Amino acid sequence: MVVVVSGGNHGATKPVLNTATLDNPDAVAADAVRSLFDAARHRRLLSPAEAVNVITVGALHADGLDIELPDTVIDPVPAGSPASYSPVGFGFRRSVKPEVLLPGGRQVFSAPPPGQGTGEVEVQPVESPQKGPGLGAAAPGMAGELDAITYSCGTSNAAALASRSLSEIMDVLEAARSEDGEAPIADAQYYPVLAKTLLVHAAGWHDSLAKMRDLLGLSGQDVRRELTRILGYGRSAASASARRSALASYCSVLDRSAKISATRSASLSHRRLQLLRSGAASPSRWRGSRRSTSIRRSTEWRG
């Protein structure tokens, strides 16, 4: 069994923008990311997301809905960045939490009214479950329709996508069993551990490394420490091809380990056979020799 936990939502943390640069999308994105980073201490993991033996999932500011936003709404957080509501780590004893990030839906905000002059303004979130943006899910309509869709954002959405990926990984592991029921890679009792490993193994920072580093102005050791808090191990690949690639890498490593182990065993057996043929040692004498050597070393150490 694999336990998946959402990191928790922090709706009270909102981007702070500079009203003098609202017409510059790059400046708006930089202000949003920096203000959310400065408020990271207020966006800690919510229990039980800090649990050790679970997969904790954070949310990305991303979804598959392509719509045109009205003039009264802005989307200041860069696409593919950690969502404004997603928590940051670390976990227990500075463990990496959340481990992976998956799309949780875009959170949009009210555009500041014009004519406010210069200064900073905290923008307020806007919910639009009927039109989006966000991740879509089946839900009853306003008039009782049975084919309606509602849009939402949150780390629970990202956790649902992670659960789906883990289920597909488990299916791939089960399909790898041979016809006689023997598993070529591992017994079924290890599937949960392998599924968690493969999900995290397929994650990465990718282009988020350079983008977040430049937006936050990080350098040196701060890059790894701060980005690990924000990104975890990175965005987990949601495509089936990426998961198959991770599984293939695991099988390749396991195959090499098995060949090395077999080579070492064969070499040791060959040496023992040579000793027996030469008469230099019999099985009993060989074991006794090792025992005598151990006793002698123990006596020398005590002396």
Cβ of 260: how many Cβ atoms within 10 Å? 10
Confidence of residue 104 (pLDDT cuts 50, 70, 90): very high
Q: What is the mean pLDDT of residues 255-263?
A: 52
Is residue 143 pLDDT above 90, yes or no?
no
Structure confidence by residue, pLDDT tens digits, 244-253: 555 655 555 5
Confidence of residue 286 (pLDDT cuts 50, 70, 90): very low
pLDDT at position 83:
95
pLDDT at position 146:
82
Q: What is the mean pLDDT of residues 116-143?
A: 86
CB 7, CB 86: distance < 8 Å: yes
pTM score > 0.75 for this model? Answer: yes
3-state DSSP assignment of residue 5: strand
pLDDT at position 264:
55
User: If you average pLDDT over every residue of the chain, what do you get?
Assistant: 81
- pLDDT above 70 covers a percentage of the chain that reads 74
Q: Report the alpha-carbon distance of residue 149 to residue 147 in Å, rounded.
A: 7
Closest CA to 152 of 181, 131, 172, 170: 131
Structure confidence by residue, pLDDT tens digits, 2-57: 999 999 999 888 999 998 888 899 999 999 999 999 999 899 999 999 998 899 99
Closest CA to 2 of 207, 168, 124, 208: 168
Containing H/E element for 59?
A: strand 55-60
Q: How many CA atoms lie within 13 A of 104 on its CB side?
A: 28
Is residue 187 pLDDT above 70, yes or no?
yes
Is residue 241 pLDDT above 60, yes or no?
no
pLDDT at position 147:
84
Is residue 284 pLDDT above 50, yes or no?
no
In residues, how long is the chain? 303
Please report, for the chain, the start and end positions of each structural domain, with discontinuous segments joined by +: 4-238, 267-302
Confidence of residue 276 (pLDDT cuts 50, 70, 90): low
3-state DSSP assignment of residue 17: strand
pLDDT at position 88:
94
Is residue 105 pLDDT above 80, yes or no?
yes
Least confident residue range of 107-121, 125-139, 279-293: 279-293
Cite the DSSP H helix spans in 141-239. Answer: 155-175, 191-201, 208-216, 221-231
